Amino acid sequence: MARRLPNFSALRAFEAAARHENFSRAAEELHLTHGAISHQVRGLEEELGRPLFVRNGRQVKITHDGLKFAQFLGKAFADISAATDAMRAASINQRLTITSIPSFAARWLAPRLGKFIELHPDIEVVLQSSGHMQDLAREGVDVGIRFGRGHYPGMVVLRLMGDVYYPVVSPHYRNGELPVQPADLARHTLLRSVEHWTPWFNAAGLKLPEPSGGLLFEDLSMLVRSAADGNGVALVRHVVAMQEIASGQLLRLFNIATPSPDEYYFVTPPAAASKPQVLAFRTWLLDEIEAFQRQQA
Residue 216, classed as helix, strand or coil, is strand
Q: Which of 100, 150, 146, 157 shows the shortest CA–CA distance to 125?
A: 100
CA–CA dist 240, 219 (Å, integer): 10
pLDDT for position 137: 75
CATH topology classification for 164-259 = D-Maltodextrin-Binding Protein; domain 2 (3.40.190)
Q: How far apart are the first and last CA of the chain?
A: 67
Delimiting residues of CATH 1.10.10.10 domain(s) in the chain: 8-90
Q: Which amino acid would we find at residue 281?
A: F
- Residue range(s) of every CATH 3.40.190.10 domain in the chain: 94-163+262-295, 164-259
- Residue 136: what pLDDT? 80
Q: Give residue-wise pLDDT tens across range 95-125.
A: 999 999 888 998 899 999 999 999 999 899 9
**Ranges of the chain whose pLDDT falls below 70:** 1-3, 88-93, 131-134, 297
Q: How many CA atoms lie within 13 A of 23 on its CB side?
A: 21
Q: Which helix (H) or strand (E) holds 213?
A: none
Per-residue confidence (pLDDT) for residue 1, from 0 to 100: 46
Assign 116 to helix, strand or coil: helix
Strand spans (E) along the chain: 53-56, 59-62, 95-100, 124-129, 143-148, 156-161, 164-169, 192-193, 216-217, 234-237, 251-252, 258-259, 263-268
| Predicted local confidence at residue 168, as pLDDT | 97
Topology, domain 8-90:
Arc Repressor Mutant, subunit A (1.10.10)
At a CB cut-off of 8 Å and minimum separation 6, what does 288 contact?
112, 115
Q: Is there a contact between 176 and 161 (Cβ–Cβ < 8 Å)?
A: no
The number of C-alpha atoms within 13 Å of 272 and in the hemisphere containing its C-beta is 28
> Rounded to the nearest 5°, which phi and psi values hold at 229?
-80, 0
Residue 249 DSSP code: S
The topology (CATH level 3) of 94-163+262-295 is D-Maltodextrin-Binding Protein; domain 2 (3.40.190)
pLDDT for residue 132 = 64
What confidence score (pLDDT) does residue 3 get? 65
Concatenated DSSP letters for 47-85?
Answer: HHTS-SEEEETTEEEE-HHHHHHHHHHHHHHHHHHHHHH
Three-state DSSP class for residue 100: strand
